[in-house]
Amino acid sequence: MLHTASRPLTLIPLLFALLLSACSTPQNTTSPERSNAPTSAASSHNSAPGQAAIASAHPLATAAGMAVLEEGGNAFDAAIAVAASLGVVEPYSAGIGGGGFWLLYDAKAAQYRFIDAREMAPAAAHRDYYLNADGTVNRDKAVNGPTAAGIPGQAAAFAHISEHYGELPLKKTLRAAIHQARDGFPVDEHYRTLMGYRLEAIRRFPESARLFLDDNDIPAAGFNLQQPELAQTLSALAADGFDGFYTGSVAERLLQAVNSNGGEWTAADLAGYRVIEREPVHVRYGALEVISAPPPSSGGIAIVQMLNMLSHFDWKTMNAVDQTHLLTEVMRRAYRDRAEFLGDPDFVEVPVSELLSEARAQAWAESIDPVQATPSLDLAGPKNLNEGFHTTHLSVLDKDGNMVSATLSINLPFGSAFTAAGTGILLNNEMDDFSAKPGEPNAYGLVGNEANAIAPGKRPLSSMTPTIINSPQQSAILGTPGGSRIISMVFLGALEHLQGKAVEDWVSRPRFHHQYLPDVIQHEPGTFSDQQQVALTRMGHRLQAVGRQYGNMQAILWDKRKQQVTAASDPRGIGSASVSPAGK
């Protein structure tokens, strides 16, 4: 059980000056517990856009969603179609062998809902599940093969959202994905690059090698990749909903494949999986709302913490170096709290009220030296958490104002690399997002995160941060993949929006990241000039270029003043954004 906020947050008007003419006392409605009570929206949702938009990480998925909208489906139907398609054409990032978080806005009910479809540890898992006899962590068991997989939640999310929020049956919303799996899709260079990370692991498992390789090697660009068994599994899900995946013949084949290859799943593990509707992190600043992911995501709490700290500074007027320094220090402190306090709220107490309080924001703000970096070890927290770096995101808005921001994952590229024979289901390796050995000092002498220890039925902590920012003037839908960097990317994208930038600027902004430990500013090539790097180094920061661009943000902006909808897909990826003509 989580603590709810015991007093309102305060945030100075400066942060939202471009969006609000005045800022009254904000209210924090965060209550991320198991709950069936929806979060009501403010009165700023008082019109419909008259246009629809989808931004996703693959053109085929965006097209699938737009087709569902044209067939009379709503944003929730379209989001299912997009997600199902991504699971076929992006087998490296998402699929029904994984899970994710879905942030919904139901315009008719004027309510936000958060669908937790995160994977669950099987009943056989326990705190020391990945420890060898000598107490060391068995990384291979935690990363590769069925022992690394949690019970998938994606299929349950499709069934739940379709039943409770959609207008169309799964037979229609899954149709494009079924066709894509059966008939195939052309392999692109992005697929080839990500397969390069996991080629040897894929080769270890014959079923995966058969499906995702060509003669045991990375397929050439343009190769038509077919997944007929996955098409059959999706068809069973379309016909029978939850039972088509978690019971019956699909479940039997899943159990046979997992348990004959070292896994320890039971029929009860599958049949007992449930999505949880949780209250999102929902903070109001006057008429403006920030709505994001609650635990077991760490994203929403971290985003609000960073905004609260930032409110104590005149950050918009700072030069690039001083602003980078400040944003780094804000990230450092939010990630420090993330490492210590966050976990599955059904298993651990998460002190939400304390983390989001103005008192904590002020204390953290006062600890920031304006000209000198704070060594992370001085903050005396636990070591940070490692997460897989490849995920996917989709954003959807329909003409009636329904919204979806969903971040989905199987963790590392191609997940566990294990495909269950006869199902086409490529399993996740999300169990690696737990702390495999809590209490063990790391290289810095700091102790690991006990709140994220493995337990049967528990959901691992995540950074996935689907977010909606709403005001009487505008509504923004955004999110991105990227492991532990997701939070900092959404934070930087949100700041672009709060400064009145176009949606294209949110997704293309050069990125940097600090996650408390390791104590470095990670950044994309070209983010900082030589002079800026020298200045930041003199302030005590260590910089590390990651050698590549990262992230794949998908974003939509509904400008209610202009009655205009715009959308953008991150130029770093191969995705696409589409906006329907007005009135369609």
Of 582, 581, 584, 574, whose CA–CA distance to 58 is shortest? 574
pLDDT of residue 288: 87
For the ranges 178-192, 440-454, 483-497, the lowest mean pLDDT is seen at 440-454
Tell me how far apart the alpha carbons of residues 180 and 185 are, in angstroms, rounded to a whole number.
Answer: 6
Question: Taking residues 408-426, what's their average pLDDT?
Answer: 97
pLDDT of residue 173: 98
pLDDT of residue 64: 98
pLDDT of residue 295: 96
CB 485 within 8 A of CB 151: no
- Position 386 confidence tier, pLDDT thresholds 50, 70, 90: low
Q: Is 448 helix (H, G, I), strand (E, B) or coil?
A: coil
CB 95 within 8 A of CB 410: yes
Of 332, 336, 303, 302, whose CA–CA distance to 449 is shortest? 336
Q: Could you read off the pLDDT of 538-577 as tens digits, one per residue?
A: 999 999 999 999 999 999 999 999 999 999 999 999 999 9
More confident residue, 339 or 150: 150
Instruction: Encode 175-201 in three state secondary structure.
Output: HHHHHHHHHCEECCHHHHHHHHHHHHH
Question: Taking residues 227-246, what's their average pLDDT?
Answer: 98
Q: Could you read off the pLDDT of 47-61 as tens digits, one per residue?
A: 899 999 999 999 999
- Position 34 confidence tier, pLDDT thresholds 50, 70, 90: very low
pLDDT of residue 541: 98
pLDDT of residue 391: 87
In order of 9, 117, 300, 360, 493, the CA distances from 305 in angstroms are 10, 24, 9, 9, 16
pLDDT of residue 445: 36
pLDDT of residue 385: 57
Question: Taking residues 215-244, what's their average pLDDT?
Answer: 98
pLDDT of residue 383: 61
For the ranges 23-37, 171-185, 207-221, 428-442, the lowest mean pLDDT is seen at 23-37
List all residues 6 or more positions away from 317 whose beta carbon is below 8 Å from its beta carbon.
Answer: none
- Position 451 confidence tier, pLDDT thresholds 50, 70, 90: confident
pLDDT of residue 105: 98
Specify the DSSP class assigned to residue 161. H
pLDDT of residue 65: 98
Q: Does the structure show a pLDDT above 90 at 78?
A: yes
- Taken as a whole, the chain contains a residue count of 584
pLDDT of residue 27: 46
The CB-side HSE value for 232 (13 A sphere, CA atoms) comes to 11
pLDDT of residue 24: 29
- Position 44 confidence tier, pLDDT thresholds 50, 70, 90: low
Q: Does the structure show a pLDDT above 80 at 28?
A: no
pLDDT of residue 286: 78
More confident residue, 203 or 340: 203
Phi, psi dihedral angles at 175 (to 5 degrees): -60, -45
List all residues 6 or more positions away from 561 whose beta carbon is below 8 Å from its beta carbon.
Answer: 473, 474
CB 165 within 8 A of CB 106: yes
Q: Is 139 helix (H, G, I), strand (E, B) or coil?
A: helix
Active-site annotation, residues = 391
pLDDT of residue 287: 84
pLDDT of residue 387: 58
Q: Is 554 helix (H, G, I), strand (E, B) or coil?
A: strand
Tell me how far apart the alpha carbons of residues 151 and 124 are, in angstroms, rounded to a whole number.
Answer: 12
CATH architecture type of domain 13-184+226-286+385-513+549-579: 4-Layer Sandwich (3.60)
23-37, 376-390, 473-487 — which one is most confidently predicted on average? 473-487
Ordered DSSP codes for 70-138: HTT--HHHHHHHHHHHHHHH-TTT--TTSEEEEEEEETTTTEEEEEEE--B--TT--TTTTB-TTS-B-
More confident residue, 435 or 157: 157
Amino acid at 366: E
Instruction: Encode 26-82 in three state secondary structure.
Output: CEECCCCCECCCCEECCCCCCCCCCCCEEEECCHHHHHHHHHHHHCCCCHHHHHHHH
Ordered DSSP codes for 231-261: HHHHHHHHHHTTHHHHSHHHHHHHHHHHHTT
Structure token digits, residue 224: 């038509």
Of 30, 39, 44, whose CA–CA distance to 474 is shortest? 44
Domain ranges for the chain, please list them.
Answer: 13-184+226-286+385-513+549-579
Of 96, 79, 78, whose CA–CA distance to 87 is shortest? 96
Question: Taking residues 170-199, what's their average pLDDT?
Answer: 97
Amino acid at 581: P
Calculate the CA 495 to chain-centre distance: 18
For the ranges 11-25, 213-227, 452-466, 557-571, the lowest mean pLDDT is seen at 11-25
For the ranges 33-42, 152-161, 453-462, the lowest mean pLDDT is seen at 33-42
Phi, psi dihedral angles at 237 (to 5 degrees): -65, -40
- Position 6 confidence tier, pLDDT thresholds 50, 70, 90: very low
Question: Taking residues 221-250, what's their average pLDDT?
Answer: 98
- Torsion of the alpha carbons at 85, 279, 362 and 351, rounded to the nearest 10: -110
Average per-residue pLDDT in the chain?
Answer: 90
Give ∠ CA 548-194-157 in degrees, rounded to 5.
110
pLDDT of residue 71: 97
Tell me how far apart the alpha carbons of residues 520 and 580 are, in angstroms, rounded to a whole number.
Answer: 43
Calculate the CA 363 to chain-centre distance: 29
Tell me how far apart the alpha carbons of residues 151 and 149 are, in angstroms, rounded to a whole number.
Answer: 7
Tell me how far apart the alpha carbons of residues 250 and 364 are, in angstroms, rounded to a whole number.
Answer: 51
More confident residue, 33 or 130: 130
